[in-house]
Amino acid sequence: MAIVQPIVDWYTNLMASGDPRVQNWTFMKGPAPTLSICLSYVLIVKWIGPYIMRNRPPLNMRWLMIIYNFVMVIISTYIFLKLGILGWFGKYNWKCQPVDYTDNPDATAMANLAWWYYLSKFLEFTDTIFFVLRKKFSHISTLHVIHHGIMPMSVWWGVKFTPGGHSTFFAFVNSLVHIVMYFYYGLAAIGPSMNKYLWWKKYMTAFQMVQFIAIFVHSFQLLFRECNYPRGFMWWIGFHAVLFWFLFADFYKNTYGRHRAAMKAKAALNGSAAYTNGSSMSNGIKANGHCNGTVKNGVNGVNGVNGVNGVNGVNGVNGVNGVNGVNGVGKQNGYHKPAENGYTNGISNGHSNGVVHRTTTKKDCDE
């Protein structure tokens, strides 16, 4: 009891030192409700949800996802513009902006907006709920769960103690990024017809990484200047920026670096196949990956060395007696009598009046 009481007293005094304007707002008395919701979120999306869905078919939620994502675009746009109008479009100092704890209308409006921004972090849990209900379990990555799971708890401290001033730069930049992000996912939810407009996902991820650099620089600049702003929150916000930057950088490397390597490997494989199947070889192979009228080793219509069975040529005159080449110029050992080796009236092995027809079997192409 002697150890516990000082901790209780410290916690009580800490909570009492919060901004009195927000003291009676929903979830603002203490961190327990927010922490409970965040832990429940992790438990649901990582274990309970997948367990419930394991024997159920994925749900088709396309229209609900479209509505949700574009509603989030509207919410993010509103928060971004209000944060700008109340502060970051000119009223706030970008180098040092103390928190205004008075009942000034703009200061009160900023505190209220910070609280709404905090509540929007709970709404963003819906992103992961959709993954669970659609059985997209591979999308529920460590990055995704950490990012969504700790944000409400992180923002809670800001609303409780610094609902305005320097702290709100984080929400300002993050809301701008979310406008872009939810617009992208709204388009993606429409369906495959939108794929041609979604080439910029990689750049959206890069934009998210840039936001954390901006937040990091904006926060830690206070190390080099005097500012009437709690330094503890400078470290708190700066730490989150660094953490998220490394998480997103790892995601970027694993996602787009792996994709780039796969594309290179595919290109190399295709190039090798093109050389194997498309090169003119001394044994008469000139396939170019096609089946129609093309057979290996000069048999039945390919320009082989020995012109077996009436090799076809360009502009060959009626495919006469195995004549091969331009305008009927003969190939060595490629001549046969008109009625021999399957020739009838100059038509042989899939050649009719110099035109190649499909004589190659599927087996020939698969070899």
Can you give the pLDDT at residue 32?
Answer: 96
Task: Give the rounded percent of residues in the chain with a pLDDT score beyond 90.
Answer: 62
Can you give the pLDDT at residue 93?
Answer: 96
Q: Which of 14-18, 34-38, 233-237, 265-269 has the highest mean pLDDT?
A: 34-38
Can you give the pLDDT at residue 254?
Answer: 85
Can you give the pLDDT at residue 1?
Answer: 64
Return all residues near 99 (Cβ < 8 A) that are at least 6 apart. 162, 163, 164, 165, 166, 167, 229
Per-residue pLDDT, averaged over 166-178, amounts to: 96
Query: How buried is 100 (Cβ within 10 angstroms: 0-12 exposed, 13-18 middle, 19+ buried)?
Result: middle
Let me know if 147 is a catalytic residue.
yes
Q: Of the ranges 37-41, 91-95, 143-147, 160-164, which one carries the lowest mean pLDDT score?
A: 143-147
DSSP three-state, residue 170: helix
**Per-residue pLDDT tens over the stretch 91-140:** 999 999 999 999 999 999 999 999 999 999 999 999 999 999 999 999 99
Tell me the whole-structure pTM to 2 decimals.
0.70
**Per-residue pLDDT tens over the stretch 199-254:** 999 999 899 999 999 999 999 999 999 999 999 999 999 998 998 898 888 888 88
> In this model, does residue 26 exceed pLDDT 50?
yes
Give me the helix-helix angle, 231-252 and 201-220, nearest 10°. Answer: 160
Cα 130 to Cα 10, 69, 183, 202, 347: the distances in Å are 41, 11, 16, 22, 64
**Per-residue pLDDT tens over the stretch 110-123:** 999 999 999 999 99
Q: What angle do CA 41, 45, 51 make, to 5 degrees?
A: 130
* Residue 170 in tokens: 């984080």
Instruction: Catalytic residue, from 147, 166, 178, 240: name it.
Output: 147
**Other CB atoms closer than 10 Å to residue 141's CB: what's the count?**
15
Give the pLDDT band (50/70/90) at residue 143: confident
**Per-residue pLDDT tens over the stretch 250-279:** 888 888 876 566 556 555 555 544 444 444
* Residue 360 in tokens: 């190659």
